[in-house]
């Protein structure tokens, strides 16, 4: 008797199938409903955040090395918040507040900015002043009002943009090349990787603008635990793993003396003994990688999004400047055995007709630009949950590939720190005009006790 | 960290309760078979599903407002700015001179057209001193049209300028003027259809 689909739904079997269907539907609807609710509450939470925009004025001479910046970031990491009960999670939609460090170049004039949740201002200032006494953080007007607000606006002003996001090539557990690699006891052999950025940003022509955004969100939850498995595989040496696999392979296939396996007592040859001895120790390279990974995991980490955008009048637009020049500045941090940066090609605004699905390439490229600009102007972190990504899709721009990476404080301090004193080739940076110093001790103060408070 | 664990426990609990309810409803159906059970468990599941569905639709309706608004109009036509109006007026007079038939006017038209090109390129952001150098600053390959047209037009201007006795030919002047106009059109300053 041929099986018909309608027959499936009759009798006891049919009743059970219907119940299973309803149960599966209930699970799907529950999850989707919960995720949608969370998306709404979280976006609402983000929308209500009040921000303050600070300009970081670099002193004329900074003797501190990036370790100071690392300490500042560690302090800031301690300010992290997290949803800690059901009300905060479901009702408030609390997410970890992030902040952004921005390197801007307006026609070759370089500015450093920092964008914070307004209540963190005093604490972040304290962190900065304790490690960089000469630095100044002043509240300024948001430069984003000078940017075109959407692609249409940009085109009518005769501008063109190119932008992308940077991600890591390998797992986040592998660190990039960090500042100790650029340092030496001899001053002539010291380099500051930020000088490349300053040079590239300084070369920007008068009508152009370049912005680099580092969005930093303190990582909550286990950062070491996540990579526990990787560390344990790294602890085993490569040659031991190979030897084990080879041993397994011989065990399975060798049947000496007929179809029945006979246990032979063969004395291992000398080469096998060598292999065994080798398997006990890791090679120097493996040890170095393991060490670097463990050091990387031992420090506080931030969920980081690196995004940059380059505006230029259409006539002067030369996307290789940004596409190659700025990206190559990130190549300094690459270490072959560890990690390196690459462009997130699915986000960068260079879409050609051969990119899948081969339709409306120009239009889709425009929407990529629009998405990037939209995210830049609102300093948005990429969505974490898949359903939140689906909810923020556009028919012409799915944006499933926008991603952030996790970098620890050491890596971030390498990416951004006040340029050191030997970077004198950057005359275009906005700097502090004079050095600050406290009043002489024992200076006579005239006035009542209450007035003294003002001067403290 | 503690809260995350709690959340996981909560989700597992909800799932376990769901499984138990599901097992119970199957038990009800199987036990009463072939008769109908006194309470049909399908009704319970349908009510549960509709509650979830309503919750989902209501949330979706609100969440819709928080989606990023990316839609923009493409190729919108804009009104020319005051600066561009001046250039358009100037360009009209240049065209008038170029097509007047008088050799001196034609020579003057080319010189004025080159002046306009110089101003326009400077406004756009090319800072070199001469027009030739400004053209050399156009690097983008997407702008080869502007580069080629401007080069051709400017070459003719240089011929006229360097040699006062150079005989002005109407066809060549026309070609040069059209080249200048093509550059202005590419820069969205002058629309030849509206002249």
Beta bridge partners of A110: A105, A429
Q: Of B45-54, B55-64, B159-168, give the lowest mean pLDDT range.
A: B159-168
User: Is B173 in contact with B109 (CB distance < 8 Å)?
Assistant: yes
Distance CA B171, CA B168 (A): 9
- For residue B11, what is the nearest residue in chain A, using CA coordinates? A31
What pLDDT, on the 0 to 100 scale, is given for residue A267?
Answer: 54
Partner residue opposite A22 with nearest CB, options B30, B42, B78: B42
- Evaluated on CA atoms A14, A15, A18, A23, the torsion sign reads negative
What pLDDT, on the 0 to 100 scale, is given for residue A95?
Answer: 93
Q: Which two structure tokens, joined as six digits, stand for A332?
A: 């300094």
Average pLDDT, chain A: 84
What pLDDT, on the 0 to 100 scale, is given for residue B20?
Answer: 95
Instruction: Using an 8 Å CB-CB cutoff, list chain A residues near B52.
Output: 26, 29-30, 33
What pLDDT, on the 0 to 100 scale, is given for residue A246?
Answer: 67
pLDDT category at B74 given cuts 50, 70, 90 is: low
Q: Is B31 on the interface with A (CB under 8 A)?
A: no
pLDDT tens, residue by residue, B8-55: 999 999 999 999 999 999 999 888 888 888 888 889 999 999 999 999
- Check CB contact under 8 Å for B66 and A206: no
Q: Tally Cβ neighbours within 10 Å of residue A270.
A: 8
pLDDT tens, residue by residue, A89-132: 999 999 999 999 999 998 888 899 999 999 999 999 999 999 99
Is the per-residue pLDDT at A262 higher than 60?
Answer: no
Distance CA A5, CA A3 (A): 7
Q: Tabulate helix, strand, coil % of chain A (nearest 5).
A: 45, 15, 40
Q: Is B5 on the interface with A (CB under 8 A)?
A: no
Distance CA B44, CA A166 (A): 50
pLDDT category at A431 given cuts 50, 70, 90 is: confident
- Evaluated on CA atoms A408, A413, A414, A415, the torsion sign reads positive
- Check CB contact under 8 Å for A220 and B1: yes
pLDDT category at A424 given cuts 50, 70, 90 is: low
pLDDT tens, residue by residue, A241-254: 676 776 665 555 55
Calculate how close chain B gets to A335, using CA atoms only, in Å.
Answer: 33
3-state secondary structure of A341: strand
Is the per-residue pLDDT at A305 higher than 90?
Answer: yes
Residue listed under structure tokens 């606006």: A153
Q: Chains A, B: CB contacts under 8 A, how many?
A: 135
Q: Is B77 on the interface with A (CB under 8 A)?
A: no
3-state secondary structure of A4: coil
Q: Is B87 on the interface with A (CB under 8 A)?
A: no
Calculate how close chain B gets to A433, using CA atoms only, in Å.
Answer: 30
Distance CA A306, CA A326 (A): 12
Distance CA A365, CA A162 (A): 10
Indicate which of A315, A320, A322, A377 best probes the interface with B, i.e. most B CBs within 10 Å of its own CB.
A315
- Reported residue count of chain B is 195
pLDDT tens, residue by residue, A36-48: 999 999 999 999 9
pLDDT tens, residue by residue, A71-86: 999 999 999 998 888 9
What pLDDT, on the 0 to 100 scale, is given for residue B70?
Answer: 86
Contact residues, B window 129-188, toward A, CB-based 8 Å cutoff: 137-140, 142-143, 146, 187-188
Is the per-residue pLDDT at A268 higher than 70?
Answer: no
pLDDT tens, residue by residue, B84-99: 888 888 888 888 888 8
Is the per-residue pLDDT at B80 higher than 80?
Answer: no
- Check CB contact under 8 Å for B29 and A206: no
- For residue B25, what is the nearest residue in chain A, using CA coordinates? A19
pLDDT category at B102 given cuts 50, 70, 90 is: confident
Q: Is B61 on the interface with A (CB under 8 A)?
A: no
Is the per-residue pLDDT at A274 higher than 70?
Answer: no
pLDDT tens, residue by residue, A324-381: 888 888 998 998 888 999 999 888 888 888 877 888 888 888 899 999 999 999 999 9
| Mean pLDDT, rounded, for B58-62 | 94
What pLDDT, on the 0 to 100 scale, is given for residue A253?
Answer: 52
Distance CA A259, CA A34 (A): 60
Calculate how close chain A gets to B169, using CA atoms only, in Å.
Answer: 31
Interior angle at CA B57, CA B51 and CA B61, nearest 5: 145
Partner residue opposite A26 with nearest CB, options B30, B48, B127: B48
User: Is A380 in contact with A98 (CB distance < 8 Å)?
Assistant: no
Q: Is B35 on the interface with A (CB under 8 A)?
A: no
pLDDT tens, residue by residue, B110-119: 999 999 999 8
Instruction: Using an 8 Å CB-CB cutoff, list chain B residues near A18.
Output: 42
CB contact set of A144 (below 8 Å; sequence gap of 6+)? A377
- Check CB contact under 8 Å for B59 and A40: yes
What pLDDT, on the 0 to 100 scale, is given for residue A249?
Answer: 58
What pLDDT, on the 0 to 100 scale, is given for residue A269?
Answer: 58
Instruction: Using an 8 Å CB-CB cutoff, list chain B residues near A40.
Output: 59, 62-63, 66
What pLDDT, on the 0 to 100 scale, is given for residue B162?
Answer: 86
ipTM at complex level? 0.78
- For residue B49, what is the nearest residue in chain A, using CA coordinates? A26
Q: Is B66 on the interface with A (CB under 8 A)?
A: yes
- For residue B126, what is the nearest residue in chain A, using CA coordinates? A316
Q: Is B36 on the interface with A (CB under 8 A)?
A: no
What is the percent of chain A with per-residue pLDDT over 70, rounded to a whole number? 86
Provide the CB-side half-sphere exposure for A211 (13 A, CA).
21
What pLDDT, on the 0 to 100 scale, is given for residue A99?
Answer: 92
Measured CA distances, A424 to A30, A91, A171, A191, B106 (Å): 60, 52, 36, 12, 54
Is the per-residue pLDDT at A256 higher than 80?
Answer: no
pLDDT category at B57 given cuts 50, 70, 90 is: very high
Residue A311 φ/ψ region, left for φ over 0, alpha for ψ in the -120 to 50 degree band, beta for the rest = beta
Distance CA A139, CA B151 (A): 48
Distance CA B8, CA B67 (A): 28
| Mean pLDDT, rounded, for A274-286 | 70
- For residue B125, what is the nearest residue in chain A, using CA coordinates? A207
User: Is A174 in contact with A268 (CB distance < 8 Å)?
Assistant: no
Phi, psi of A391 (to 5 degrees): -70, -30
What is the percent of chain B with per-residue pLDDT over 90, rounded to a whole number? 28
pLDDT category at A54 given cuts 50, 70, 90 is: very high
Whether the link from the prior residue into A299 is cis, omega within 30° of 0, is no
Measured CA distances, A113 to A100, A101, A425, A429 (Å): 8, 6, 20, 12
Instruction: Using an 8 Å CB-CB cutoff, list chain B residues near A22.
Output: 42, 45-46, 49
What pLDDT, on the 0 to 100 scale, is given for residue A1?
Answer: 54
pLDDT category at A411 given cuts 50, 70, 90 is: very high
pLDDT tens, residue by residue, A129-164: 999 988 889 998 888 888 888 888 888 777 888 999
CB contact set of A425 (below 8 Å; sequence gap of 6+)? A195, A198, A199
């Amino acid at each position: 008797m041929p099986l018909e689909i309608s027959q499936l739904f009759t009798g006891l079997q049919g009743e059970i199938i219907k119940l299973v269907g309803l149960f599966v539907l209930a699970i799907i609807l529950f999850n989707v409903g919960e995720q949608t609710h969370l998306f709404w509450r979280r976006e609402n939470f983000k929308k209500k955040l009040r921000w303050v925009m600070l300009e970081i004025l670099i002193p004329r001479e900074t003797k501190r090395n990036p370790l100071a910046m690392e300490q500042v970031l560690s302090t800031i990491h301690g300010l992290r918040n997290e949803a800690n009960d059901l009300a905060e999670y479901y009702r408030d939609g609390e997410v970890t507040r992030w902040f952004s460090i921005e390197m801007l170049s307006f026609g070759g004039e370089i500015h450093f900015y920092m964008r914070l949740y307004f209540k963190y201002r005093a604490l972040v200032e304290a962190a900065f002043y304790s490690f960089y006494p000469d630095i100044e953080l002043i509240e300024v007007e948001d430069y984003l009002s000078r940017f075109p607000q959407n692609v249409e606006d940009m085109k009518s002003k005769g501008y063109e943009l190119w932008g992308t996001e940077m991600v890591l090539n390998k797992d986040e557990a592998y660190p990039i090349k960090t500042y100790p690699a650029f340092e030496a006891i001899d001053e002539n052999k010291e380099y500051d990787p930020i000088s490349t950025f300053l040079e590239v940003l300084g070369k920007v022509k008068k009508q152009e603008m370049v912005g680099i955004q580092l969005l930093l969100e303190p990582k909550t939850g286990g950062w070491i635990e996540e990579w526990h498995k990787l560390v344990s595989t790294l602890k085993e040496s490569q040659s031991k793993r190979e030897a084990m696999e080879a041993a397994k392979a011989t065990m399975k296939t060798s049947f000496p003396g007929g179809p029945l396996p006979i246990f032979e007592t063969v004395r291992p040859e000398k080469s096998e003994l060598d292999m065994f001895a080798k398997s006990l120790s890791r090679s120097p390279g493996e040890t170095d990688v393991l060490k670097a990974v463990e050091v990387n995991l031992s420090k506080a980490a931030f969920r980081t999004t690196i995004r940059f955008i380059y505006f230029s009048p259409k006539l002067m637009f030369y996307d290789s400047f940004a596409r190659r020049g700025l990206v190559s500045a990130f190549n300094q941090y690459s270490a072959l055995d560890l990690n390196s940066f690459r462009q997130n090609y699915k986000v960068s605004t260079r879409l050609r007709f051969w990119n899948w699905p081969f339709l409306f390439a120009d239009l889709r490229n425009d929407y990529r630009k629009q998405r990037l600009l939209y995210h830049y102007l609102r300093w948005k972190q990429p969505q974490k949950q898949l359903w939140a990504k689906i909810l923020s899709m556009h028919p012409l721009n799915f944006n499933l590939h926008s991603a952030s990476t996790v970098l620890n404080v050491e890596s971030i301090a390498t990416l951004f720190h006040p340029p050191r004193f030997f970077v004198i080739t950057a005359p275009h940076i906005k700097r502090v005009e004079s050095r600050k110093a406290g009043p002489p001790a024992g200076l006579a103060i005239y006035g009542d006790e209450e007035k003294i408070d003002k001067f403290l | 960290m503690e809260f995350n664990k709690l959340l996981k426990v909560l989700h597992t609990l909800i799932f376990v309760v769901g499984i138990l309810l599901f097992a119970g409803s199957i038990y009800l159906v199987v036990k009463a078979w072939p008769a109908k059970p006194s309470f049909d468990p399908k009704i319970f599941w349908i009510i549960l599903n509709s509650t979830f569905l309503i919750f989902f639709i209501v949330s979706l309706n609100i969440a819709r407002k928080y989606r990023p608004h990316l839609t923009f109009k493409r190729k919108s036509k804009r009104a020319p700015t005051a600066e561009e109006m001046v250039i358009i007026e100037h360009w009209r007079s240049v065209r008038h001179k170029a097509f007047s038939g008088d050799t001196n006017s034609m020579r003057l038209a080319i010189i004025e057209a080159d002046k306009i090109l110089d101003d326009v390129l400077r406004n756009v952001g090319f800072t070199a001193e001469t027009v030739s150098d400004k053209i050399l600053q156009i690097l983008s390959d997407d702008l080869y049209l502007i580069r080629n047209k401007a080069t051709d037009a400017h070459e003719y201007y240089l011929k006229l300028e360097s040699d006062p006795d150079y005989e002005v030919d109407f066809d060549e002047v026309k070609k040069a003027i059209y080249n200048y106009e093509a550059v202005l059109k590419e820069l969205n300053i002058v629309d030849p259809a509206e002249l």
